[in-house]
Structure 1
Amino acid sequence: MKHLYLTLITLSALVVGCNNPKEPVNEKGQLTLLGNWAPEGLSWRDVWVWTPPGYDSSQSYPVLYMHDGQMLFDSTNTWNHQEWQVDETMERLISKGVIQPTIVVAIANGGSIYRTSDYFPEDVIPSLPEAIADSLIQNDLAGKARGNRYVDFLIHELKPFIKERYAVSDNPMDHYIMGSSMGGLISLYATLQYPEEFGGAACLSTHWLGARRTRNAELSSAILDYTAEHLPNPYSTHLYFDHGTVGLDSLYAPYQSKMDSILVANDFVEGRGMSKVFEGADHNERSWSRRLEVPLTYLLGAK
């Protein structure tokens, strides 16, 4: 999204509307920066809220929580000059009636030092051999696991704040969560920890390896085993997974295959679970933006 461009288009539409009141205005969604958050036990981060075209506070909307919020809307402000194109994709799918008008809450990560610490499924750690757990905590988690604190922040602080100020649905099954890589892992974990809070999770390029430096079979197996033991009710929660075949994504296939078997064994079939492979897709925002409509349609498809 280019903020200046959108502003100019909006002003132009308003001028035309003044000259000809009967001509419809080409509405866009609106992105609002809520400002810096400094949750106790976490590093500060920005939070944005995107409201859909025609947002009406007297209505009720589903809400989608997304991680790595600074990478979602504006490539001119991202470290790699890429973005998910969330606003453009949402507007296109909503205008076509493919998905429901939905509020998006984008939570920035807490910086490269703490991102893995925030997004790692903390309750997996006690099941690890001591040497692996110590390596993980010291080399990847900046000395302390923060995954539970991050999820608690989402559930007990951010969600009530959003509910108080925006017209979100009272039905928890209209609340969804999405992320990629480690963001995919924490989206899954949040759903395992609080299944009553989410109707579904989309986990793109899920980082089953679990960390950047500490990589071994025990760590990945522990994540999958924990997931298998804590899956929510398949009749009330939808789970989406995918991965590409290039770069880091090329390493995920055997782990996702095991996850797919776990899903089938727990009745996540026939629309309750989805797993897709995107040939030629890499591990970056450009690749995720190209297929974003698939998980959005799966979770938010017009009812």
Structure 2
Amino acid sequence: MSALDIESRLVTLDNFPFPGLNTTRRIRVLLPRSYQQSDAHYPVIYFHDGQNAFFDKDAKYGTSWRIQDELERIYQADPTREWIVVAIDNSPTHDFNGRFNEYSPWKMDSDFKLPGRDAGIYELGGLGELYAEFVANDVRLYIDSEFRSLTARENRIVMGSSMGGLISAFIAMRYNAVFGSAGVFSPAFWFNKSKFLTWLSGVQLNLPLRLYMDVGTNETSDESRDDFNQIYVDDAKQVAEVMTQMDNVCVRFEVCEDAIHNERDWQKRVPSFIQHCS
């Protein structure tokens, strides 16, 4: 499948209003292969860190998920299975570390030591509630009005990795009436695990949620900490255990041997995620 073919199905919204923060955001909408040849309606995947979704040339660190390749393989096996993918760029502020602001409802845990990172990270976080509202209301309502989406909550998935995994779990539970599934890849619960767990203890879901969560055994977000890979694994296990005990949550949790904190490794896990969440 050529890049040209993908780009012919890609709709780019360059200045989509984000009223909660009085700013705008680029959103890329990838339409299904059959979209222009039918009048069918499609389920929707909402994807954080959207510039990393499709092309290496757009990706912040030069490597993308190429999620279209995985969806194409699924389509080739079963042409009835297609999705609209709504890829929402992360915040360009703070040299793109603004994603820490928007992908956590809480400030960075001041007790969690990151000796290899700029101390400014401790000032970030806390805008996740506004971002969640933006995705669940502003973006979702626009997509449902402008594209042929299936509007039942069972046909909406929210997904992301690292901080995007954290906010995906939050959005899916905070807006339980909007989203039926979530893909939580290599979640960065270390950003403020205690606040996340405290919030989670008060969550009661009235509707069923399918949640896919994974973590690699060789992940890090600070090379100066030799224990970061174990932190990723232990945190994900702890949160998955809590979620498994919750009413109305069906969790699939995977520990991926030798997997690193990288879009190519996350791409490999898309089939497992899709199998569980759709």
TM-score (norm 1): 0.77
Query: Aligned with 2:267: secondary structure?
Result: helix
Using the TM superposition, give the Cα deviation of residue 43 of structure 1 relative to its aligned residue in structure 2, in angstroms: 4.6
Question: Do the aligned partners of residues 28 and 101 (structure 1) sit closer, same or farther apart at CA in structure 2, a change above 3 Å counting?
Answer: farther
Using the TM superposition, give the Cα deviation of residue 175 of structure 1 relative to its aligned residue in structure 2, in angstroms: 0.7
Percent of paired sites with the same residue? 27
Q: Mark the structure with the bigger radius of gyration.
A: 1
Matched, 1:148 2:129: yes
Query: Aligned with 2:13: secondary structure?
Result: strand
Using the TM superposition, give the Cα deviation of residue 170 of structure 1 relative to its aligned residue in structure 2, in angstroms: 2.1
Match of 1:245 in 2: 217
Match of 1:161 in 2: 142
Q: Using the alignment, how far apart are the partners of 1:143 and 1:244 within structure 2?
A: 25
Q: Using the alignment, how far apart are the partners of 1:143 and 1:220 within structure 2?
A: 15
Map Cα deviations across residues 177-205 of structure 1 (whole Å, 9 max, x no partner).
00000000000111121100000111000
Q: Using the alignment, how far apart are the partners of 2:16 and 2:123 within structure 1?
A: 20
Q: Is 2:176–2:205's contact at 8 Å kept on the other side of the alignment?
A: yes
Match of 1:48 in 2: 28
Match of 1:182 in 2: 163
Query: Aligned with 2:212: secondary structure?
Result: strand
Using the TM superposition, give the Cα deviation of residue 172 of structure 1 relative to its aligned residue in structure 2, in angstroms: 1.5
Matched, 1:292 2:270: yes
Q: Is 2:50–2:88's contact at 8 Å kept on the other side of the alignment?
A: yes
Using the TM superposition, give the Cα deviation of residue 97 of structure 1 relative to its aligned residue in structure 2, in angstroms: 1.7
Using the TM superposition, give the Cα deviation of residue 253 of structure 1 relative to its aligned residue in structure 2, in angstroms: 1.7
Deviates more, 1:96-105 or 1:85-94: 96-105
Q: Using the alignment, how far apart are the partners of 1:141 and 1:197 within structure 2?
A: 31
Match of 1:198 in 2: 179
Letter in 1 for 2:198: D
Matched, 1:118 2:102: yes
Match of 1:19 in 2: none
Matched, 1:36 2:21: no
Letter in 1 for 2:213: F
State the superposition RMSD in angstroms.
Answer: 2.7
Q: Using the alignment, how far apart are the partners of 2:65 and 2:10 within structure 1?
A: 14
TM-score (norm 2): 0.83
Q: Is 1:281–1:287's contact at 8 Å kept on the other side of the alignment?
A: yes
Using the TM superposition, give the Cα deviation of residue 99 of structure 1 relative to its aligned residue in structure 2, in angstroms: 7.4
Letter in 2 for 1:220: K
Q: Which runs of 5+ in 1 are unaligned?
A: 11-26, 133-137, 211-218
Using the TM superposition, give the Cα deviation of residue 290 of structure 1 relative to its aligned residue in structure 2, in angstroms: 1.7
Of Structure 1 and Structure 2, the greater helix share is in: 1
Count of aligned positions: 259
Q: Which runs of 5+ in 2 are unaligned?
A: 112-118, 221-228
